[in-house]
Every structure is written in structure tokens, then in C-alpha cells.
């Protein structure tokens, strides 16, 4: 197996992982928002100390992973074409 195929495989894995992490972050954010909207005391507490940053971290991490995976796929494709 040549180097560009390995790079493209790793890029594809990164894209799949990034999409999973992004979806996980969205699910976490929905759960937190539903909990906060149902309880007034929890909402007031969360306004001062927010754990939404964890779900934002998942979303940002997913986006970064997708970008890195896309870059690896493009680099592998360029190496394959110029091979």
C-alpha cells in the first residue's frame, strides 16, 4: 500500500470521527438546554456557571477534525494524481 492511500485512509477516518464528535456535541447541547429550560433554579445556576462550553468543545473539536481529515484527503489525492 503506497503512502498516498494511507494518507487518504487516515483522512477518511478523521472525517468520520469528526462527524461523530460534532453530532455528539449537538446532542449534549440539546440535553443541557432542555434541562435548563424545564427548571428555573437550574437555569439561574447555569447562567453563572455554564457547562455548555463542554458541548461547544465537542463541536469545535469535530469541526477541526473534519478540516484535518479533508486536508489529508486532498493531499493524498494530489500525491496520487502527481504520483
Q: Which pLDDT tens digit goes with each residue over 56-73? A: 788 888 899 999 999 999
Measure the CA–CA gap between 20 and 12, rounded to whole angstroms.
12
pTM for this entry: 0.70
Asked if 58 and 28 touch (Cβ cutoff 8 Å), the reply is: yes
Distances (CA, A) of 46 to 28, 49, 53, 55, 79: 15, 5, 11, 14, 49
Q: Using one digit for the tens of pLDDT, what is the confidence trace for 5-35? A: 888 899 999 999 999 988 888 888 787 777 6
Residue 52 has pLDDT above 90, yes or no: no
> Helices (DSSP H) in the chain: which residue ranges?
3-38, 40-48, 52-82
Residue of 75 and 51 predicted with greater confidence: 75
Amino acid at each position: 500500500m503506497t503512502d498516498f492511500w494511507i494518507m487518504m485512509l487516515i483522512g477518511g477516518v478523521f472525517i468520520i470521527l469528526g462527524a461523530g464528535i460534532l453530532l455528539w456535541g449537538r446532542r449534549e447541547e440539546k440535553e443541557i438546554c432542555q434541562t435548563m429550560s424545564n427548571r428555573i433554579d437550574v437555569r439561574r445556576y447555569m447562567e453563572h456557571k455554564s457547562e455548555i462550553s463542554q458541548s461547544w468543545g465537542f463541536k469545535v473539536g469535530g469541526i477541526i477534525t473534519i478540516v484535518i481529515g479533508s486536508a489529508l484527503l486532498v493531499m493524498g489525492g494530489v500525491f496520487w494524481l502527481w504520483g
